[in-house]
Structure 1
Amino acid sequence: MISRLSLLPMLALCVLAAPAVAADDDKVPYWASIDADVANMRVGPGGSYKIDWVYRRLHLPVKIIRREGPWRQIEDPDGDKGWMRDLLLSRQRTAIVIGKELIEMHADGNDSSAMLWRLEPGVVGLLGECAEGWCTFDVDGHKGFVNEANLWGAGEP
């Protein structure tokens, strides 16, 4: 029969050997995107807080700046901040075209490659890899390369 005193060291070893929470999941800021057709942003981290904004833009990129339980404090492309449930968000990287002018989407990651399309400010697309100032960008199946400086949601958050 094992005595209770001999169980204490084994219990302590089990606690010390428990896996740590993945550090990457806790690091903020990070990029995310809205993953719902309708997503409410609240003034605080809870369902009882007032709704400040209602987003109706699937894949809109947001920056996660704080975590509190299942709630994420986000910043949108216009700089507005508030709280949103994690269930409404995805880690899928997206970006939005910024500026006031049309921008060019190219066949390759350089200005001398063929221009495929012109994109308006506010266009949202799936963001791929970025290298040497150019990012792969997919807007409803129209794929190409866009200068990283023209995208909000690219680069480090």
Structure 2
Amino acid sequence: MPRRRLFFALAAALSLSVPLSVPLTMLPQTATAQERGPVTNLPLPRFVSVKSAEANVRRGPSLTHRIDWVFKRRNMPVEVTAEFGHWRRVRDRDGAGGWIHYALLSGARHVIVDKDLLALNIRPDPKSAVTARLERGVIARMEKCTLDWCRLNAGGYRGWAPKEALWGVTPEEIKD
């Protein structure tokens, strides 16, 4: 089929499937399409961590906006939900959010333990030996993840923990 005829056939098929009265923004998105940040082209939302021991969280994306609160823990995981220039809108485990300068964030992955006395197992198996127990609120470096387990490093202790007991990693995320 010649190109021109193919183009018109496709255009006709599309016009039949999408009524002209429906704006394109109202059409359903495919499940595989993931939103990308306009500045970094990285997926949104995504998890990162706070690089410094103190990081100001502002009401808007500039130094002229008021500081709403300050992160006081290094390596705190946060979720990036938007980008604007050198600024990233983030939210923490409690849902509190604001804008933070990108220089205060790191791609190094950390998670927060969401379950009290979480067992770190030698292998990703609840029946394997326990190397340590972590209290709720501990921040641990995430080394790798399977569908159900993550390998963590916290205070010199390494081991595997169930993914559902952690905040800072998505359920479907796999990290090698």
Cα distance in 2 for partners of 1:85, 1:91 equals 14
Aligned to 1:153: 168
1:75-111 CA-partner distances (Å, limit 9, x unpaired) = 1111101000000000111100014x32111111010
Please, what is the CA RMSD of the aligned residues? 1.9
Cα distance in 2 for partners of 1:74, 1:146 equals 25
Instruction: Give the letter aligned to residue 86 of structure 1.
Output: Y
Which of the residues 102, 105, 108 maps onto 1:86? 102
Please, which runs of 5 or more residues in structure 2 have no aligned partner? 1-36
Once the two structures are TM-superposed, the CA of residue 132 in structure 1 deviates from its matched residue by 3.7
Instruction: Give the letter aligned to residue 127 of structure 1.
Output: M
Aligned to 1:143: 158
Aligned to 2:65: 49
Cα distance in 1 for partners of 2:144, 2:128 equals 18
Aligned to 2:120: 105
Aligned to 2:22: none
Aligned to 1:69: 85
Please, which runs of 5 or more residues in structure 1 have no aligned partner? 1-21
1:94-146 CA-partner distances (Å, limit 9, x unpaired) = 100014x3211111101000011111110001102111411000013211111
| SS of alignment partner, residue 87 of structure 1 | helix
1:7-38 CA-partner distances (Å, limit 9, x unpaired) = xxxxxxxxxxxxxxx98932311110000011
Which of the residues 44, 55, 60 maps onto 2:76? 60
| SS of alignment partner, residue 94 of structure 2 | coil
Contact 2:39–2:85 (8 Å) recurs in 1: no
1:115 and 2:115 equivalent? no
Aligned to 2:143: 128
| SS of alignment partner, residue 149 of structure 1 | helix
Cα distance in 2 for partners of 1:25, 1:149 equals 29
Instruction: Give the letter aligned to residue 151 of structure 2.
Output: T
Instruction: Give the letter aligned to residue 119 of structure 1.
Output: L
Between structures 1 and 2, the one with greater strand share: 1
Q: 1:69 to 1:24 in 2, by over 3 A?
A: closer
Q: 1:136 to 1:28 in 2, by over 3 A?
A: same
TM-score by length of 2: 0.72
Count how many residue pairs are aligned between Structure 1 and Structure 2. Answer: 135
| SS of alignment partner, residue 103 of structure 2 | helix
Instruction: Report sequence identity in percent.
Output: 33
Higher RCO by CA contacts (8 Å cutoff, separation 6 or greater):
1
Instruction: Give the letter aligned to residue 39 of structure 1.
Output: A
Which of the residues 35, 39, 49 maps onto 2:51? 35
Contact 2:61–2:84 (8 Å) recurs in 1: yes
| SS of alignment partner, residue 121 of structure 1 | coil
